[in-house]
Amino acid sequence: MVSEVKTVSGRGIPLVGNDIDTDRIIPARYLKAVTFDGLGEGVFIDDRKALNGEHPFDQPQYQGAKILIVNRNFGCGSSREHAPQAIAKWGIQALVGESFAEIFFGNCVAMGIPCLTGDAAIVKQLQQLVAANPQASVTVNLETLEVQIGDYTAPVSIGEGSRNMFVSGSWDACGQLVANANQIRETVTKLPYVSWGKLAAN
């Protein structure tokens, strides 16, 4: 299925710090946006302004990175879906960290962005490897539950239910509906309380 997410490969970007909440990821003033378009420009905007170009998301060596490497309790705070949307709009396709806030993790799963966890020592090593060689390719493998940078390979984890959703493509609820449109129509015609002709006309 097209929506399967078995591996994600690309350059990495390290973001050091614990308890980075959703308001730091995308400030509340961005929540009035009608769509998620353009949110990537605002990701970590206040932190980036405070660091005056020294934030990883502003540094030239990390532009175009696809895998964000974070520390403990990333995405805590409010449940805003705008946070993972902003990260995704910037270009991130997978995250590796020590731990993730539950609602942030769920929002990422619903968008097809795997969040895998590793021990603190592993995450620190990944961050250091990427910082030392920003052009190195990072591969996150959901089938083998490993992350690889050059010669360094380390185990990572994700709940089995979430892993199966990514590997099978079933995380994509809309894609599932489209793929099964014929069966849905067939089922609807058998429901006594639905007038399929009227639905089709609409």
The string of pLDDT tens digits covering residues 190-201 is: 788 766 555 454
Domain span at residue 26 reads: 7-171
**198 within a domain of the structure (yes/no):** no
Q: Is the pLDDT of residue 102 over 50?
A: yes
pTM to 2 decimals? 0.85
Question: Looking at residues 117-122, what average pLDDT do you find?
Answer: 98
Closest CA to 10 of 66, 69, 60: 66
Answer whether residue 147 is part of any domain. yes
Q: Could you give the CA distance from residue 1 to residue 175 in angstroms, rounded to a whole number?
A: 9
Q: pLDDT per residue over 65-99, tens digit each?
A: 999 999 999 999 988 899 999 999 999 999 999 99
Decide if pLDDT at 9 tops 60. Answer: yes
What is the average pLDDT across 162-186?
77
190 in a structural domain: no
CA distance 83 to 88: 9
Task: Tell me what the mean pLDDT of segment 128-149 comes to.
Answer: 98
Structure tokens at 43: 């990701």
Name which of 1-10, 13-22, 67-76, 140-149 the model is least confident about: 1-10
CATH of the domain at 97: 3.20.19.10
**Residue 185, pLDDT score:** 75
171 versus 109: the higher-pLDDT residue is 109
What is the C-alpha separation between 116 and 129, in angstroms, rounded? 18
The answer to whether residue 165 is domain-embedded is: yes
Whole-number pLDDT of residue 193: 76
Higher-confidence residue of 168 and 62: namely 62
197 domain residue, yes or no: no
Question: pLDDT band for position 164 (50/70/90)?
Answer: very high
Backbone Cα Rg of the chain: 19
Is position 52 within any domain? Answer: yes
- 174: confidence class by pLDDT, cuts 50, 70, 90: low
Q: Could you tell me which residues are beta bridge partners of residue 5? A: none
Domains identified in the chain, total number: 1
Token pair 């540094």: residue:
59
Is 194 part of a structural domain of the chain?
Answer: no
Nearest to 111 by CA among 122, 119, 103: 103
- Give a yes or no: residue 72 inside a domain: yes
Nearest to 128 by CA among 107, 151, 149, 157: 149
Amino acid identity for residue 82 in this structure: H
- Residue 1: the pLDDT is 46
Share of the chain above pLDDT 70, in %: 89
